[in-house]
Amino acid sequence: MVPLSYYLILSLILFSVGMAGVLLRRNIIIVLMSLELIFNSVNINLVAFSHHLQSMAGRIFVIFTITIAAAEVAIGLAIIVAMYRRVKTVYVDKLRGMKG
Amino acid sequence: MEQIFFFIFAVVAVGSAVAVVAFRNPVHSAISLMVCFFQVAALFILLRSPFLAAAQLFIYVGAVMVLFLFVVMVLDLGRASFDEPVFHRRIWGIVVVLGLFAEVVYLTLKGEPSHIKGPYVDGAMMNNTEVMGTLLYTKYIYPFEIVSILLLLALVGAIALTMNSKGE
């Protein structure tokens, strides 16, 4: 029996690593991968609480999260492909089209 | 015994997550992300949710990772990625991450989760998939329908975005 706090700390570490990836990397594909890491840490959190409280709500919610994440990846990668055709770069620093 | 497996999966998951952020080459990052998804699926099995583990493998490792690798291949980013500029205010990023980490560690160790236990004990989770399917088609039928419409929208949107303006 693994205590709940172990899962919470693991999920926190994954979240922090994902957030560091979003904040520090400039390659937009790796930013999207880090977003997936954050999604996964949230899923671990939901399932751990669901297991701890002996409820099904968190597990059902994880199914919806996984679906939303799949939709997000499909749209996000489509946007990246469309953007790459236009500006020929994947670095978020080079995207200054909307800078005031 | 369960704790040993938990620590194995957790260490590999954190290591591969760090590798995702640290590798220069997007292909290596994608492979590390796949390893991390595998470990998360194993953790779902430790948490008595085998259906979620299977869904995680099918959707993340099967679909999402193939999509990532496909886009890396189409855009030909494998070797052009060594001149990535560094974030000029990276110190603030590190400060934000460490601050959030310290705050949530404090809250996790101090906090006490409420103990309103539901009816789904480990014995009832033996037929996990059945329980989940029943709930999904009765109590959670409206979110289920909405999320299926959202998937359809994402499908149409992805095709519309990647098509050329000439419609080819």
CATH topology of domain A4-94: Helix Hairpins (1.10.287)
**B48 → chain A, closest CA residue:** A51
Q: Check residue B129 and give its pLDDT.
A: 83
Task: Tell me the CATH number at B131.
Answer: 1.20.120.1200
More confident residue, B116 or B94: B94
Is residue B2's pLDDT more than 80?
Answer: yes
Name which of B13, B26, B49 is nearest A27 (Cβ-Cβ).
B26
Six token digits for residue A21: 């990836």
Is residue B131's pLDDT more than 90?
Answer: no
More confident residue, A2 or B144: B144
Is residue A13's pLDDT more than 70?
Answer: yes
Q: Which of A8-17, A20-29, A80-89 has the highest mean pLDDT?
A: A8-17
More confident residue, B128 or B148: B148
Q: Check residue B84 and give its pLDDT.
A: 65
CB contact under 8 A, B75 and A80: yes
Domain that holds residue B140: 2-82+122-162
pLDDT, averaged across chain B: 85
- Per domain, the residue ranges of chain A are 4-94
B97 domain-assigned: no
Question: What confidence tier does A15 reach under pLDDT thresholds 50, 70, 90?
Answer: very high
B168 domain-assigned: no
Beta bridge partners of A27: A91
Distance CA B34, CA B20 (A): 9
Instruction: List all residues of chain B from 55 to 114 with a beta carbon under 8 Å from chain A.
Output: 55-56, 59-60, 63-64, 67-68, 71-72, 74-75, 77, 81, 84-87, 90, 93-94, 96-97, 100-101, 104-105, 108-109, 113-114
Q: Check residue B44 and give its pLDDT.
A: 92
CB contact under 8 A, B151 and A7: no
Q: What is the mean pLDDT of residues B119-147?
A: 83
Scored b (16 or more CB within 10 A) or e, B87-117 reads eeeeeebeeebeeebeebbeebeeeeeeeee
Q: Check residue B89 and give its pLDDT.
A: 72
B38 domain-assigned: yes
Is residue B83's pLDDT more than 80?
Answer: no
The count of CB pairs under 8 A between chains A and B is: 215
CB contact under 8 A, B17 and A29: no
Q: What is the mean pLDDT of residues B110-126?
A: 71
From the CB of residue B44, how many other CB atoms can be counted at a distance below 10 Å?
25
Q: Which of A18-22, B77-81, B115-119 has the highest mean pLDDT?
A: A18-22
Whether the CB of A11 is below 8 Å from some CB of chain B: the reply is no
B19 domain-assigned: yes
If one counts the domains in chain B, the total is: 1
Q: What is the mean pLDDT of residues B74-91?
A: 69
More confident residue, B77 or A71: A71
Q: Check residue A99 and give its pLDDT.
A: 75
pLDDT in tens, A18-77: 999 998 888 889 999 999 999 999 999 999 988 888 888 889 999 999 999 999 999 999
DSSP of B60-91: IIIIIHHHHHHHHHHHT-SSTTTTPPPPTTHH
- Nearest-CA distance from A33 to chain B in Å? 7
Whether the CB of A36 is below 8 Å from some CB of chain B: the reply is yes
